[in-house]
Structure 1
Amino acid sequence: MGIFATQRLVVRNWTADPADLNRIFDIYSRPEVTRWLGAPGLPLTAPAQAADRLATWRERHAGHGDRYGTWAIEVRDTGVVVGTVLLKPLPGRDENVPTEDIEVGWHLHPDSWGHGYATEAARAAAARELAAGTREVFAVVAPGNTASMAVARRLGMTQVGRRTDWYGGESLETFVLTAAGD
């Protein structure tokens, strides 16, 4: 069952199914993906670490219901999981303390780059959050990650420069999408 869907995609929870765990490992073991993420433990180096990554995501979102998550993006017609879309409270300078600011993000397998999947999934996630009453949704991008900056721009997000409010004070290119009427 999906959390939400678009014309081409179903966004759903990652599962402990071996196919999902294999895809998590395949995505998050790739330096061309993980070099932009700055997350501890990346890139993954052993397939068993995929289950740990899934457990971390589940723990992070345990109290959120389906409002926030780190979800699999699955192509409706083929069933292929192309990557991850996330929607969550941004961690502050103390990374263990979430802020009131909401982040949309995406991590796709290189075999799925260039098809518009990140834009489509992130647009739906951000729209869903804005419809729930949130006034702003942010995307934070590592400097130099031009592909993700392009996705943020395609989403209609406004680049507001580098900020250090989140992720332990890391300097990140920041984009914002504001609710209509604000």
Structure 2
Amino acid sequence: MFRTERLTARLWEDGDEQRAYDIYSRWEVMRWLGARPRALESPTEVPALIARWRERSADPRYGVWALERHDSGEVVGSVLLVPLPDGDGRTEEGRVEVGWHLHPDSWGHGFATEAARGALAKGFAEGLTGIHAVVRPDNGPSAAVCRRLGMAPLGRTDRWYGVEMEAFLATRP
């Protein structure tokens, strides 16, 4: 977990369930995520989702963290720093992904860039030398975040998640 100027990246908690559902039940958020995007259909799906995120956060180097605003305490979305799975769901040693998922009411405020910058700094402080981002080709806003972060474009690939994505790479300064 980590802090930035305006955000705290922390574990998702049971008290975050309503906001998690509000974020992950929206097609405008979910359409960009995973090999087979699917919006949550019921609040009853949220506890299992939070449990999976907590499992992915068991190794303190990695995680899927809630992004909480310092000024209001509101959760604006998630930032992740996790091993990157290949098309079969297996992870390659040393391949790590940074990503962000924000509620639409938090788009356009620089939170994605700020949170991703913090996740990159955490990863590099943990000894990583390169961190990837993978973005669906028509997701211009996320590609713009990658460019603002100074990530190098690697072109399109279907190596990860089994679908064609734009790949980017940040290297340790």
TM-score normalised according to structure 2 size: 0.95
Task: State yes or no: 1:58 paired with 2:51.
Answer: no
Distance in 2 (CA, whole Å) between partners of 1:154 and 1:49 is 34
> Cα offset for 1:35?
0.6
CA distance in 2, matches of 1:71, 1:176: 21
Shift of 1:171: 1.2
Residue in 2 that maps onto 1:47: 43
Alignment of 1:109-148 (within 5 A): 109-148=103-142
State yes or no: 1:88 paired with 2:82: yes
Unaligned 5+ segments in structure 2 are none
Question: What are the residue-to-residue correspondences of 1:1-182 with 2, within 5 Å?
Answer: 3-17=1-15, 20-38=16-34, 42-62=38-58, 64=59, 66-95=60-89, 97-100=90-93, 101-167=95-161, 169-180=162-173
- For structure 1, list consecutive stretches of 5 or more residues without a partner in the other structure: none
TM-score, structure 1 normalization = 0.90
| CA RMSD after TM alignment | 1.3
Equivalenced residue count is 172
Deviation at 1:59, TM superposition (A): 2.7
| Change in CA separation of 1:30 and 1:122 when aligned onto 2, cut-off 3 Å | same
Q: Identity over aligned residues, as a percent?
A: 53
